[in-house]
Structure 1
Amino acid sequence: MTHEQLYGVAPEGTWTAPGRVNLIGEHTDYNDGFVMPLALPHSTTATVSRRADGLVRVHSREIAGPPVDIDTATLAPGSVGGWAVYPAGVLWALREAGHEVGGADIHYTSDVPVGAGLSSSAALEVVTALALSDLYDLGLSREEISRIGQRAENGYVGAPTGILDQMASACCTEGHALHLDTRDMAQRQIPFDLAAEGLRLLVVDTQVKHAHADGAYGKRRASCEAGAAALGVPALRDVPFGELEAALARLSDEEIRRRVKHVVTENHRVERVTALLDAGRVREIGPLLFEGHASLRDDFEVSCPELDLVVEASAAAGALGARMTGGGFGGSAVVLVEEDAAEVTGKAVSDAFAAAGHTAPRIFTAIPSPGARRLPVR
Structure 2
Amino acid sequence: MTDTTSFAQTFGREPEHRYSAPGRANLIGEHTDYNDGYVLPFAIDRRTTSWIAARSDRLLRVTSTAATPGDVVELSLDDLAPAAMNGWSAYVFGIAWALRERGADLSDKSGFDIFIDSTVPVGAGLSSSAAIECGIALAFNDLWELGLDRKELARVGQFSENNAVGAPTGIMDQSASLLGEEDAAVFLDCRTLDTAVVDLALSTNNLEILVMDTRVEHAHATGGYAARRASCERGAEALGVPALRDVGVNDLPRAEKLLDAETFRRVRHIVTENQRVLDTVDVLREQGPRAIGDLLVASHRSMRDDFEISTPELDLAVDTALEHGAVGARMTGGGFGGSAIALVDREARTTIANAVTAAFAAAGYAEPVLFTVHAAQGARAEL
For the aligned pair, the TM-score class normalised by the smaller chain equals over 0.9
Of 55, 65, 72, 1:67 maps to 72
Cα deviation for residue 143 of structure 1 reads 1.0
Of 203, 219, 223, 1:215 maps to 223
Query: What are the Cα deviations for residues 350-377 of structure 1, in whole angstroms up to 9, with x where unaligned?
Result: 00001011111111112010000101x4
2:266 pairs with 1:259: yes
Report the equivalent of 1:122.
130
Report the equivalent of 1:102.
110
Query: What are the Cα deviations for residues 152-171 of structure 1, in whole angstroms up to 9, with x where unaligned?
Result: 11101111000010111011
Query: What are the Cα deviations for residues 267-314 of structure 1, in whole angstroms up to 9, with x where unaligned?
Result: 000011101100133212111111100100110011111101101111
Of 236, 239, 248, 2:244 maps to 236
Query: What are the Cα deviations for residues 38-71 of structure 1, in whole angstroms up to 9, with x where unaligned?
Result: 1111000111111121000001012224211112
TM-score (norm: length of structure 2): 0.96
d(CA) in 2 for partners of 1:120 and 1:314? 25
Map residues 160-175 of structure 1 onto 2, 5 A cutoff.
Answer: 160-175=168-183
2:41 pairs with 1:37: yes
d(CA) in 2 for partners of 1:112 and 1:10? 25
Map residues 140-219 of structure 1 onto 2, 5 A cutoff.
Answer: 140-219=148-227
2:307 pairs with 1:281: no
d(CA) in 1 for partners of 2:214 and 2:274? 26
d(CA) in 2 for partners of 1:274 and 1:109? 34
Query: What are the Cα deviations for residues 80-125 of structure 1, in whole angstroms up to 9, with x where unaligned?
Result: 2221121111121112123214311111111100010100000001
List gaps (5 residues or longer) in structure 1: none
Report the equivalent of 1:134.
142
TM-score (norm: length of structure 1): 0.97
Query: What are the Cα deviations for residues 312-349 of structure 1, in whole angstroms up to 9, with x where unaligned?
Result: 11121121111000000000001011222111111110
Bigger shift: 142-151 or 116-125? 142-151
d(CA) in 2 for partners of 1:94 and 1:133? 9
2:99 pairs with 1:91: no
2:364 pairs with 1:360: no
Report the equivalent of 1:270.
277
d(CA) in 2 for partners of 1:10 and 1:141? 29
Percent of aligned positions that are identical: 51
Bigger shift: 85-94 or 180-189? 85-94
Bigger shift: 69-78 or 323-332? 69-78
Query: What are the Cα deviations for residues 239-273 of structure 1, in whole angstroms up to 9, with x where unaligned?
Result: 1222222332222x111100000000000000111
**Residue type matched to 2:350 in 1?**
E
Q: Give the secondary-structure state (helix, strand or coil) at the position aligned to 2:82.
A: coil
Of 105, 108, 120, 1:112 maps to 120
Cα deviation for residue 12 of structure 1 reads 2.4
